[in-house]
Chain A
Amino acid sequence: MHLILFIIFAALCLTGAVNLLFQKQPINSALSLIVVMTSLAVLYLLLGAEFLAAAQVIVYAGAIMVLFTFVVMLLNAGREERTLGSRAARTVGFPAVVAILAVVATAFLKLQGLGTATIEDHITSTADLSTVLFTKLLLPFEVTSVLILVAILGSVALARKGDGEGTK
């Protein structure tokens, strides 16, 4: 059961990711990314992280991707133009990516003692999560809230149509 679910949603992830790469219109890429996010949420659930699954859907798929979609529509980002490519990206970047994949995959495969995941595994409850979050890791939590405040202010300041911010 677990296996089948994993295979389906993993496939969805991969498909969405590949589609993100192949689509020419940004809005299509955004929608593919939403698919990836949602599949990942299910995978989290399979791994027993129920809070995170919910958070993934709410925050990532529901807020961040919506923000992306808004911006795409705001800027009327159309079909991707064919521009001058970057030779460096092709000659240097791709081999680097291949290298990263090879190294990391090999490392992962060589790990010993990796267990398995099953449906009956313990699901981390929100209570467990919040116990640790609000006791041991309270400071990072508070700092994160400050960070979000800063981000809000920053994005408002940057995106506002102010003086001298017009077209050059």
Chain B
Amino acid sequence: MLYLPLIPLAPFVGFLLNGSFGRRLPKAVVSGIALVAPLISFVIVLHAALLVWSSSLTLPVIEQNAPSWISVGALHVDFGSVLDQLSLVMLLVVTGVGFIIHIYSVGYMHEDQGYWRYFAYLNLFLFFMTVLVQAGNALMMFVGWEGVGLASYLLIGFWFQKDSAANAGKKAFIVNRIGDFGFLIGLFLLLANFGTLTFTEIAARLEANPAMTGGILTAIALCLFVGATGKSAQLPLYVWLPDAMEGPTPVSALIHAATMVTAGVYMVARTHFIFDRSPLALSVVAIVGAATALFAATIGLVQTDIKRVLAYSTVSQLGYMFLGCGVAAYSAAIFHLMTHAFFKALLFLAAGSVIHAVGGEQDMRRMGGLRTKIPVTFWTMTMAVLAISGFPFMSAFFSKDAILAAAFASGSLGKVLWFVGLVTAALTAFYMFRLWYLTFFGETRNHDVHPHESPWSMLGPLVILALLSVGGGWIGAGRFGAFLSPSLGVRTEEAAGSSEYLLMVLAVAAGALGWYIAHRMYNRPSTADGLAATTPAGYDLLANKYYVDEIYGSAIVKPLLAFSKYFLEWIVDVAILGGLAWLLAGIASLGGAILQRWQSGNLRSYAAWLALGAAILLVFVLAPYVFGASGIGLNLTGH
């Protein structure tokens, strides 16, 4: 028995229990409920994975006779879940990393007042995420999509008493909504053109129609990609992710690094059969991905908040994943998604440990020399930094390489994008090592706190994730791709052997270059200020994130506010609706005033109206007789 429905249901029950009763339960019970739920999900997924490994289970497992949700006319949507290679991998990542982060949260959030609320939301998130991954049709996926957006809003604004946190939550939700609009349009187009939203059916229909390319499929693909842009923080809808760092660090790790933001990549992979038919859409995806990767990396170069650096790093790495999708190397993108989950979650959790150690300080300029004081954190974070920089034989080395190789092999546009990816790799290494040096090396810049190592509930997950970051890629892109090919299709071309090695060497060299420059500049902190001094304009531009938020504010938000105020409030609300109400009242009172004059108390006018009434009555009664041609016959009936 696979118990697949339990995968989302266990966290949901956890949410219900902790959400309803958590306030009154002791912390131990809350933690217990909150940890058991994802554990159940993870165990089930692991069990299924083991069955597949030992070939006792063949994928895909499609749920038959699933309860029907919508059945109207030609539209049939059910609750059915799908377990295939793609969703199995994703579920492993989501439930595994999710469980680890739950354990970490027990230590991190221990002092917080809203402990029960936090875990309730976290379980809720896990519920929606698993629904999203397991969805067999686009509408169920959309349910999960919206749900994780909700959970993200709740968790970003967890410390809602802080204005900045509440605003960040709102911003995340609203920007996500914009993307969701695109997703919805895509759904409508899918429904209109295929009459169904079930993935397998759409894929089958496309297979039966090999001539169908471009046109409407491009439109559908682009609309779906807009949704992915919102959820996965790509240009132009990435602006919510840096602000989302207002939430607790484990939240940043789970939702904004490992799982939720990767939902967009997952969705593109899931609907790859549509994207495959539209070269234009694929190009758009690749270009946006590569552009975002470069753009975010440049901003990350000068950020001073440790979590902001990681946030922009996430945006950049997501760009890599979309680059992979855009060159139809879906399995490479998913591979990178998996390794990224490992090292990015580790980075965030370690950063959380650092912040915990220095008593809440998040500005790197006030850290330093922590290497000896928090050794476990230091070593685990080092593993993650090496991984993300593409250090040979670590997890990201394999996955990033697979993407870059695929890009290089995809025509002339691919080569340009490959170069962008290469530059971004150098920049990535640079800012990650910058972070590393500023945080752990040099002299202690902050003498007010006495850094202490975190409890083992926090360190344990760090160690596990470090192991995964180092060894998670050894399966190799080739075998990974082969495993996923039944659900993702096979990539048509591979780069020739020798150029692949050359590309590999170039990527490592770019990483090494980034490290070297960071070493030169930050190992002796005085050089760092020098950089800021040389190009103040450039530095300001980057430090202010290219003023994108300000541009959005004046180009979009301000006009909307003005529209709301001047048009909707003044014209529609006050003038039209208010005027309408005033008019109706006026009519009633005017009518009353007119009729009032009729009640004059004057006997003679009353008499006149009486006579008129009598006349009308008589006319009505006698008219047929009077105007009739024949005379009125006199007949007396009865006595």
Contact = CB atoms under 8 A, between A and B. Distances in A.
B631 A112 contact: yes
Contact of A110 (B602, B605, B612, B626): B626
B604 A89 contact: yes
B569 to A, nearest CB: 49
A93 B615 CA distance: 10
Contacts of B604: 85-86, 88-89, 93
B570 interface: no
A104 interface: yes
A150 interface: no
Main secondary structure of the interface of A (DSSP, over half): helix
A96 B615 contact: yes
B602 A86 contact: yes
Interface in B249-294: none
A55 B612 CA distance: 33
B611 interface: yes
Contacts of B634: 111-114
B618 A93 contact: no
A100 interface: yes
Given A86-B602, A93-B607, A110-B632, A103 B612 contact: no
A93 B619 contact: no
B622 A96 contact: no
B32 to A, nearest CB: 88
Contacts of A97: 611, 615
Contacts of A95: 612, 615
A111 B607 CA distance: 30
A143 interface: no
B626 A99 contact: no
A92 interface: yes
Interface string B607-634: 1110110110011001101100001111
B609 A92 contact: yes
Contacts of B625: 107, 110
A107 B612 CA distance: 18
A167 interface: no
A111 B632 contact: yes
Interface in A90-137: 90-93, 95-97, 99-100, 103-104, 106-107, 110-114
B622 A103 contact: yes
Contacts of B611: 92-93, 96-97, 100
A89 B605 contact: yes
Main secondary structure of the interface of B (DSSP, over half): helix
B608 A103 contact: no
A49 B615 CA distance: 30
Given A86-B604, A110-B625, A92 B612 contact: yes
Contact of A100 (B602, B618, B631): B618
B632 A107 contact: yes
Interface in A48-94: 85-93
B632 A103 contact: no
- Give the contact-size bracket for chain B: 20 to 34
A107 B622 contact: yes
Given A100-B618, A103-B619, A107-B622, A93 B633 contact: no
Contacts of B631: 110-112
B615 A86 contact: no
Contact of B608 (A86, A107, A110, A111): A86
- Give the contact-size bracket for chain A: 20 to 34
Contacts of A114: 634
Contacts of B633: 112-113
Given A89-B604, A92-B608, A106-B626, A100 B614 contact: yes
B607 A89 contact: yes
B608 A93 contact: yes
Contacts of A87: 605
B243 to A, nearest CB: 75
Contacts of A107: 622, 625-626, 632
Contacts of B607: 89, 93
A113 to B, nearest CB: 5
B612 A96 contact: yes
Nearest to B623: A103
Contact of A104 (B602, B612, B618): B618
A68 to B, nearest CB: 18
Nearest to B605: A88
Contacts of B622: 103-104, 106-107
B633 to A, nearest CB: 6
B622 to A, nearest CB: 5
Given A92-B612, A97-B615, A103 B626 contact: yes
Contacts of B605: 86-89, 92
B20 to A, nearest CB: 73
A50 to B, nearest CB: 22
Nearest to A100: B615
Interface in B585-604: 602, 604
B16 to A, nearest CB: 75
Contacts of B618: 99-100, 103-104
B612 to A, nearest CB: 4
Interface of B: 602, 604-605, 607-609, 611-612, 614-615, 618-619, 622-623, 625-626, 631-634
Which 6 pairs from chain A and chain B are nearest by CB?
Answer: A93-B608, A88-B605, A86-B604, A96-B615, A96-B611, A112-B631
Interface of A: 85-93, 95-97, 99-100, 103-104, 106-107, 110-114
5 contacts: A85-B604, A92-B608, A93-B608, A96-B614, A103-B622
Given A90-B608, A100-B611, 16 more contacts: A86-B602, A86-B604, A88-B609, A89-B607, A93-B608, A93-B612, A95-B615, A96-B614, A103-B619, A103-B622, A106-B626, A107-B625, A110-B625, A111-B631, A111-B634, A113-B633
